[in-house]
Amino acid sequence: MKRPNILFIFTDDQRFDTLSAMGNPEIDTPNLDRLAARGTLFTHAHIMGGTSGAVCMPSRAMLMTGRTLFRIEGQGQRIPPEHTTMPEQFRKAGYVTAHVGKWHQDRASHARSFSTGAKIFGFRKKKGWYEACNGHWHIPVHDFDPTGSYEPGEGYNDPPIAPFEAPFETVKENGRHSAEVFSDAAIEIIRNHPASPEGRAGKPFFLYLAHIAPHDPRQCPARIYRQYPAARVSLPPNFAIRHPFDNGDLRVRDELLAAFPRRPHEVRRHLADYYAIIAHVDEQVGRVLDALEESGQADNTIMVFASDNGLAVGQHGLMGKQNVYDHSVRVPLILAGPGIPQGQRTDAPCYLLDIFPTLCDLAGVAIPETVEGRSLVPAIRTPGAIVRDSLHFAYKQFQRAVRKDNFKLIEYSVKGVRTTQLFNLGSDPYERVNLAAAPEHQDRLRDLRAELDRWRTELGDTQEMGREFWGE
């Protein structure tokens, strides 16, 4: 059997419910919807959280290695050679591995993972991508460098961005949106593959297209922006003017994007901008899918769509991803292509780190011993199959959570104060009613605390939480 290509499209900061296929009537995502119709939509995909305020950094390290949060190196800044990456494993299996867009880890792991690519974003000396570029219209990118050196390139000072000095290590991209720049590069790789020496030799491709949208600043073309007026957007049912208690990181960067206390009109504007930039990404996804069809390779390509984390945007009085509520740890996940049932939805709980072994299973590639994720193939091929019966979440040293049987326990330890939340996600999906003090839920609370402790022991999650949190 001819080995399938892999097309993996990854977005930045896109919450699980920002697809019309997930029942959101206020956003239009026809291309992601058609991808879902062509394959299997995982409605309960999650990340494990993060040990950094930049949650996307450990999230992407977990995705690339298939390893759990406390078994990646540090906060995910670097992927050590002993942790085989997903594209690296496919490269070893004879795939042409190509990368377009964002990379949040080190140069060395990128060089051993990819054999080609274009418009590489992330190898910069400045802190924070939004500080190293002028939003989505003027982005610093590199041409692919197989050596991984990425020496400073053309000066980036048009226009200058105070207070950062030029030159930046970059190739200039002016006047085009990041989603268009990256999609154009991916389309070129797809179109050229059949005629390339590798394509003629029968080598399949593994293309990782990693957008920086819909990360703020939430910019998109005016024609799309006008389709999402703030007045049309509803406040989320769990909107609050402030979080009810200190969760440990209420003044982190993302939380400063809106005023305190939260104001309804401002949150509506943020949500409208969020939906608009996602609609623009959806349009670009459609262009890439069309190019794949036109190339004649779609029938032999496994397509994946996911995002690195969610975002609050007004829910629980929060704006960012630095928490373990569903709006921040739950993400979209779609798999489509050969061997994957069409038009299927599954509620099977899973992690993004499960994608690595899943793709290996589907493509007939060996799963490295360093991978801890679980293949989702049973959940894809057997309706009702469960791959994971519980999930663990963490944020820095402040928050720990566990989800099992539609109930979710969140424990906080902040400045010596312990706070407990217990939610029935079946009847309360917006996590509004705290059941932790309810007498009828004390047995469940005790069981979930035991499950949280089991996860802590299994994962080696000891370095982030103090003894006071665990009651020791």
Q: Which residue has the higher pLDDT, 468 or 415?
A: 415
Instruction: For the chain, report the end-to-end CA distance as a whole number of angstroms.
Output: 56
Q: Is the pLDDT of residue 131 over 80?
A: no
- Clarify whether residues 405 and 377 are in a common domain: no
pLDDT at 125: 54
Question: Do 436 and 320 share a structural domain?
Answer: no
What integer pLDDT is reported at residue 158 of this predicted model? 34
Q: What is the CATH number of the domain that holds 453?
A: 3.30.1120.10
Mean pLDDT of 294-323: 98
Question: Which of 122-131, 210-219, 242-251, 315-324 has the weakest average pLDDT?
Answer: 122-131
In this structure, the answer to whether residues 308 and 443 fall within a common structural domain is no
From 272, 139, 156, select the one nearest 212 (Cα to Cα).
139
pLDDT tens, residue by residue, 345-381: 999 999 999 999 999 999 999 999 999 999 999 999 9
Expressed in percent and rounded to 5, the helix, strand and coil fractions of the chain are 35, 20, 45
Same domain, 241 and 205: yes
312 and 421 co-located in one domain: no
Helix (H) or strand (E) holding 453: helix 442-459
The mean of the pLDDT values for the chain is 91
138, β-bridge pairs:
174
Under 8 Å between Cβ of 40 and 380: yes
List of E strands, 337-416:
344-346, 350-351, 390-395, 399-404, 407-414
Separation CA 190–CA 207 (nearest Å): 8
The yes-or-no verdict on residue 88 having pLDDT over 50 is yes
Domain termination site, one of 389, 413, 447: 389
Q: Are residues 303 and 435 in the same domain?
A: no
Q: Tell me, yes or no, whether 135 and 9 share the same domain.
A: yes
Q: Are 321 and 328 in contact (CB under 8 A)?
A: yes
9-26, pLDDT tens digit by residue? 999 999 999 999 999 999
CB 116 within 8 Å of CB 189: yes
Buried b or exposed e, range 321-360, using 16+ CB within 10 angstroms: bbbbbbbbbbbbbbbbbeebeeebebebbbbbbbbbbbbb
Contact 412, 245 (CB under 8 A): yes
Domain count, the chain: 2
Q: Judge if 382 and 402 occupy the same domain.
A: no
Q: What is the C-alpha separation between 405 and 24, in angstroms, rounded?
A: 24
Domain boundary among the residues 389, 410, 439 is at 389
Question: What pLDDT, on a 0 to 100 scale, did the predictor assign at position 154?
Answer: 38
Inform me whether the pLDDT recorded for 233 exceeds 50: yes
Is-contact 18 330, C-beta < 8 A? no
Q: Are residues 205 and 315 in the same domain?
A: yes
Q: Work out the number of other CB atoms within 10 angstroms of the CB of residue 467.
A: 8
240-299 pLDDT, tens digit per residue, is: 999 999 999 999 999 999 999 999 999 999 999 999 999 999 999 999 999 999 999 999
Please give the model's pTM, rounded to 2 decimal places.
0.94
**Beta-strand pair 344-346/39-46:** parallel
Question: Is beta strand 5-11 parallel, antiparallel or unpaired with respect to 301-307?
Answer: parallel
Please check whether residues 254 and 346 belong to one and the same domain: yes
Same domain as 434, residue 384: no
**Residue 132 is part of a domain; what is its CATH number?**
3.40.720.10
Domain boundary among 358, 389, 420: 389
Q: Bigger pLDDT: 2 or 62?
A: 62
pLDDT higher than threshold 80 for residue 127 = no
Domain range for 457: 397-470
Q: Are residues 84 and 27 in the same domain?
A: yes
Distance of CA 366 to the CA centre of its chain: 24
Per-residue model confidence (pLDDT) at position 1: 58
